[in-house]
Amino acid sequence: MLQDKLTPFIDRYNEISSLLSSPEISNDIKKMTELSKEQSSLEAIVEKAKAYIQTQKSIEENRELIYDDELGELAKEELAEQEKYLDELEEEIKILMIPKDKNDDKDIFIELRAGTGGDESALFVHDVFKMYTRYADQMSWKIEIVSSSEGSAGGYKELIFQIKGNGVYSKLKYEAGTHRVQRVPDTETQGRVHTSAITVAVIPEVDDVEVDIKPNEIKMDVYRSSGCGGQSVNTTDSAVRLTHIPTGIVVAIQDEKSQHKNRDKAMKVLKARVYEQAMQQQLDATSANRKLQVGTGDRSEKIRTYNYPQNRLTDHRIGLTIYALDDVMENGNLNLIIDPLISHARTEAIKEAGL
């Protein structure tokens, strides 16, 4: 029964309340902070659990009254309302009982890379970046370009940017993978549809506590920046390349004129990539959450197709097709895709947890 699974949450919440009022804990700021955070994380489910238990009691009472000559009709009306409310509470509680992804509240780095399709692929990187920018505006998030490498005919061969805001990773974590585009390029004189692809990586930002990279594990190279930017770009060794020796992960940043700023940016991206690799290895080893049931996060996995001639967008992981590609690309209305992905992941997580 669901009620049996709720009792431990209520018991733990009450236990923490007792601990927080004890003299031993009140003198231990660190422990008090930890317990307060844990209690805060339990508040929502405990509130719903108490309402669920109370509603169950009311239902039992009304079931006994439905045959009463005076109160039977009223009991039937209340019973119908209470049973509907109980079903709603049950669904809300199941979602709250799903183990929370510890990265959900983190800011992220998104890495876009042109793949098959040459110049058209680089142009699509630019279009996808604009799509994420418009979505971020809707969500009141902030975007900052970390590193960019322009394509020969426009767009970007590679683009790394950071998104900061509330619940960024929870919304965008399912974007990782290969995004395929089908459209007529501007340079196509015969009107033929071309297919190209880009890869998207979504990496949660981490702090020093989560990833401890020692100085002797890093090789740093400096060199002169290349590309657009005028004389100042090419006259100083401001570009920085960091290599994490244990994993072989390499990050090169050249967008800033200051070597110090480029190194700071590169270090942040490097830590995030090292963390991402460790996280992926753990997933591969344990098959935790069946890779969230919507894909492995592997950049080689084809997750989505953007078909411009048909105004069609398809997410292959959940078999979702919408004919509103223009709304997604031009207005950043990504929730048309993201909300069904989150809903699907929750449904599979509830099955996995046996709720």
Q: Which residue has the higher pLDDT, 151 or 126?
A: 126
Query: What pLDDT is recorded for position 318?
Result: 94
First and final CA of the chain: distance in angstroms?
9
Q: What average pLDDT does range 104-118 have in this prediction?
A: 90
Task: State pLDDT tens for residues 250-273.
Answer: 988 887 778 888 888 888 888 888
How many CA atoms are closer than 13 Å to the CA of 243, on its beta-carbon side?
Answer: 6
Helix (H) or strand (E) holding 145: strand 142-150
Secondary structure (H, E, C), 44-98? HHHHHHHHHHHHHHHHHHHHHHCCCCCCHHHHHHHHHHHHHHHHHHHHHHHHHHC
Residues 83-102 pLDDT 10s: 999 999 999 998 888 888 88
Stated pTM of the model: 0.75
Minimal CA–CA distance to 309: which of 201, 185, 176? 185
**Segment 275-281 long-range contacts (CB within 8 Å, at least 24 positions apart):** 275/203, 275/204, 275/206, 275/210, 275/211, 276/201, 276/203, 276/204, 277/247, 277/249, 278/211, 279/103
Share of the chain above pLDDT 90, in %: 47
**pLDDT at position 174 over 90:** yes
Concatenated DSSP letters of 231-295: HHHHSS--EEEEEETTTTEEEEE-SSS-HHHHHHHHHHHHHHHHHHHHHHHHHHHH-GGGGGGS-
Average pLDDT of the residues in 288-312: 69
Residue written as tokens 């190279």?
Answer: 221
